[in-house]
Amino acid sequence: MAAKKTSVVIVGAGGFARCHVGCMVAMEKSVRIAGFVEPAEKSRAQMAQFLTEKGVKKTPPFFNTLKEFIAANNGPADCAVIVSPHNLHVTHIVDSMKAGMDVLVEKPMVLNAAEARKAMKVRDETGRLLSVAFQGSYSPAIHKAKELIAADEIGKVMSISISMCQNWATITKGMWRQIPEVSGGGFLMDSGSHAVNTMIDLAGADVKVLHAIQDNRGTPVEITSVVAGVFKNSVYFTIFAEGGSDNGGNNVMVVGTKGKLHTDIYGGSLRFQKAGTWEEKPVEYPASKGTFERFLNVRSGKLENPCPAEVGLRFAKFMDMVKKSAAEK
């Protein structure tokens, strides 16, 4: 008898939803897309076209709300993947868990600490799984980097520096991502959240103090951010996030007394440089089909949840510190 497929409802069918859907299509023997919750006709059409290009013969149905999906499906799916605008996350998280579904939610989990605590309360009440789709936390490369740090391979960690550039201001112009009430912020809140999360994962401690400078560059949200500070374990950090240019890519450097680790904010690579040498050597780590596949491993108990709701809360707290510091300048 064939194993029962994991059923999934995808809340939001915009651009990034296709990353998760592509992974699900590749796992068609074990995963079934039960439907999409997406009221926008344009996003529906684009998703349908994407599925056709992927060779899917029948597009799963679209619904306006989760309630409509559950009624038509005669009950909830096994899990919900939430890829809706940021201000809708907390409602979709809560409704999905109360309906009996495990949840994988895109970053940032919520807009603020109060919403994070609300989601955590419902998680505890329902006993459902709630995980944030930070690619770094789910990345085998970042897991390997943390193992190397714990094993003292690079010695005492002294500092972590991050630089990232993306033509974010242009590609999000006119979108909800530049509406503060919907997105919660600009480049650092959106793409830059990966940088923040990966940095804190690697540091292994909470932030003690930070100083931030931000510039909206004539837009409603921040485009350029410079943040410097120190963690409670005395590891210093810097983040340079430039959302007005794609010249520079993204780099994460962890410097220790015995060597250096070099990765990126998504955990897409890992290299090691021993102190006193110039050569960076690639580090091997397990392969992965992506965040959704790893999420299924969490659901089945094969992997400890690398990105629980507490991670969403810590990011919200970090952004509160950044906004407060930037406002004082």
Please write the tens of the pLDDT for every residue from 220-261.
999 999 999 999 999 999 999 999 998 778 999 999 999 999
CA dihedral 300, 304, 305, 311 (to 10 degrees): 180
List strands edge to edge, sheet with 6-11: 62-63, 31-37, 6-11, 79-82, 102-105, 130-132
Domain residue limits, the chain: 6-134, 136-289+309-327
Residues 129-183: pLDDT tens digits? 999 999 999 999 999 999 999 999 999 999 999 999 999 999 999 999 999 999 9
For residue 205, the model assigns a pLDDT of 95
pLDDT digits (tens, 9 = 90+) for 84-115: 999 999 999 999 999 999 999 999 999 999 99
140 three-class SS: helix
- What span, in angstroms and rounded, lies between the C-alpha atoms of 316 and 329? 21
Q: Report cis status (omega within 30 of 0) of the bond before 180.
A: no
Cβ-contact 66, 9 below 8 angstroms: yes
Architecture of domain 6-134: 3-Layer(aba) Sandwich (3.40)
Beta bridge partners of 289: none
Q: What is the pLDDT of residues 203-220, one digit of tens each?
A: 999 999 999 999 999 999
Distances in Å between the alpha carbon of 19 and those of 24, 25, 81, 195, 289? 9, 10, 11, 19, 11
Q: What's the pLDDT at 176?
A: 95
Mean pLDDT of the chain: 95
CATH number for the domain running over 136-289+309-327: 3.30.360.10
Q: Which residues of 230-245 are buried (b: 16+ CB within 10 A; e: fewer)?
A: bbeeebebbbbbbbbe
User: Is the pLDDT score of 2 beyond 60?
Assistant: no
In the chain, the percentage of residues whose pLDDT exceeds 70 is 99
Beta-carbon neighbour count of residue 159 at 10 Å? 17
